[in-house]
Amino acid sequence: MKFLVITYGCQMNVRDSEAVSALLMRQGYVCAEGEADADVIVINTCSVRGKAEAKALGKLGLLVADSRRNHPDRVVGVMGCMVQRLGPALFEKVPGLGFGIGTQAMSRLPLVLQEVFEGKAPVLDVGDGDDAEALTGHVEGHLSAFVNILLGCDRRCTYCIVPHVRGREWSRPAESVVDEVRELVGQGVREVTLLGQSVMNYGRRNPVWPEGSTSAGGYETPFPRLLEAVDAVVGIERVRFTSGHPSGCTPELVRAMAELPTVCEHLHLPCQSGSDPILERMRRGYTVDQFRQAARVLQAAVPGVALSTDIIVGFPGETEEDFERTRAFMEEIGFDNAFIFKYSPRSGTPAAEWDDDVSDEEKMRRNQVLLEDQTRRVEAINKALVGQRVNVLVEGPSLRNAARWSGRSRTNKVVVFEPIPGVERGDCVELLVERVTATTLYAVGSVRGA
Ligand code: 5AD
Ligand code: SF4
């Protein structure tokens, strides 16, 4: 049996797709080369914006139609956030689906498939009680891996569907996380990214679940302690984590980022808006000034730190003035990278009850303006790196031009360089930046530059 997993959405989805792939491979399934030779196709979905769902639904419609015509025995199923959000309505939207698996049921994919093969399609499992510790498998061969540490989300940002579809926050035991990292290093992984919606909340007491049970107590390892434990794993070269929140930028966390050698000078710190009234209505839990303080402390303690962010444009009631404040704030902080999203009302969230009063054209314009600012800003940031040394995790021949090699800096920038004798994939080397674009640093072996 050959399977294919197609992923939409965030890094957590990328991680979930990998974990279910590893699970299926352990059951004897083989990875298909593409859609044409797949007996089972699973689409992993995202609900964060309407467009992400529309894309997945469109793709599913095409796949089901193609399967009916050309691969009558093929099973097409869906997993993840959209399944959790839509439940049985999913099967009305896309008749012919084999199964749907929610965000808390992914480890039961092999069982669900079994039921489908027994003729029970469509099978829906949006139940909870999934065991996160059953989803720790990885597909071998990568230098860099994602590791879930905190599932779910306890924040209540007024625009966001994630808490509805991903459930309560749940910290995995620190020992399991460290074991997973150790195993990854054994498979050749050099860099891990620790994942959580609000990753710095890691280690708070877990909810007692199921109700009344004492077995599911808390794992109270504060996040900076977990970073120390992961940093101490022999052979790990780089540690990253995402996503951050200003409230988590405590002195302990900043110290851990400054002092732990493997922890990279890079943090994704979603800001969403640079205007206080908007932040308040988003219920983000910080003011512009609090965000500014967090960023300044990090920038002072971690020289060269690259901060990236998420911004929503066109949130209900966002005026031109609010938008201009966001624009100025992004410049003030000097974000190294920014993901800009047009606000999309998600039914069931508080903001969806408010008038979506910024027109789509205006959202598009604001999006474009911020993107152009960002390109200009990162060009300037990169220019300042010319003549400096960067540490590069070597990935091997570049995809575009195999005569050149590429890798990533600790700040997560793509670095392109001529192959260097004796330097292999997986090595970390110091290179000298010679020229830059907004997306790439071009570097040479530091010997030549020394
Ligand atoms: N509309 C637009 N963007 C959203 N995001 C989350 N919810 C919405 C929404 N309803 C963005 C936020 C978040 C990122 C993952 O997606 O910027 O940080
Ligand atoms: Fe990830 Fe959120 Fe999209 Fe779910 S809804 S896939 S958690 S971005």
* Pairwise CA distance, residues 363 & 321, whole Å: 14
| Amino acid letter, residue 48 | V
Nearest to 152 by CA among 191, 204, 100: 204
* Pairwise CA distance, residues 158 & 283, whole Å: 6
CATH number of 2-125: 3.40.50.12160
- Report the chain's terminal Cα–Cα distance, integer Å: 55
Task: Indicate which ligand has the atom closest to the C-alpha of 148.
Answer: 2
pLDDT of residue 212: 52
Give the Å distance between the CA of 284 and the centre of ligand 1: 12
pLDDT of residue 447: 52
15 CB within 6 A, ligand 2:
no
Quick one: fold of 389-448? OB fold (Dihydrolipoamide Acetyltransferase, E2P) (2.40.50)
What are the distances in angstroms from CA 304 to CA 238, 255, 301, 378? 16, 15, 9, 13
Q: How many CA atoms lie within 13 A of 169 on its CB side?
A: 21
Whether the bond between 122 and the residue before it is cis, its omega within 30 degrees of 0, is yes
| Amino acid letter, residue 378 | V
HEC assignment per residue over 26-71: HCCCEECCCCCCCCEEEEEECCCCHHHHHHHHHHHHHHHHHHHHHC
Q: Let me know the angle formed at the C-alpha of 299 by 294 and 305, rounded to the nearest 5 degrees.
A: 120
CATH says 144-382 is which class?
A: alpha beta
Nearest atom in ligand 2 to 11's CA = 1
pLDDT of residue 217: 52
393 CB within 6 A, ligand 2:
no
Task: Indicate which ligand has the atom closest to the C-alpha of 165.
Answer: 2
Pair type for strands 428-436 and 440-445: antiparallel
* Pairwise CA distance, residues 178 & 184, whole Å: 10
For the chain, the domains span 2-125, 144-382, 389-448
* Pairwise CA distance, residues 146 & 135, whole Å: 12
pLDDT of residue 129: 74
Q: What is the layout of strands, in order, in the sheet containing 306-313?
A: 266-268, 306-313, 337-342
Q: Which of 7, 45, 48 to mutate to test the pocket of ligand 2 (most atoms within 8 A of CB)?
A: 48
Structure tokens belonging to residue 170: 């749940």
Task: Indicate which ligand has the atom closest to the C-alpha of 11.
Answer: 2
Q: Which residues of the chain have pLDDT under 70?
A: 208-219, 446-450
Residues with CB under 6 A from ligand 1: 10, 48-49, 159-160, 270, 272, 310, 312, 341, 343-344, 346
Structure tokens belonging to residue 131: 């065991």
Q: Let me know the angle formed at the C-alpha of 105 by 181 and 120, rounded to the nearest 5 degrees.
A: 135
HEC assignment per residue over 6-17: EECCCHHHHHHH
pLDDT of residue 323: 98
How many other C-beta atoms are found inside a 10 Å radius of the C-beta of residue 78?
28
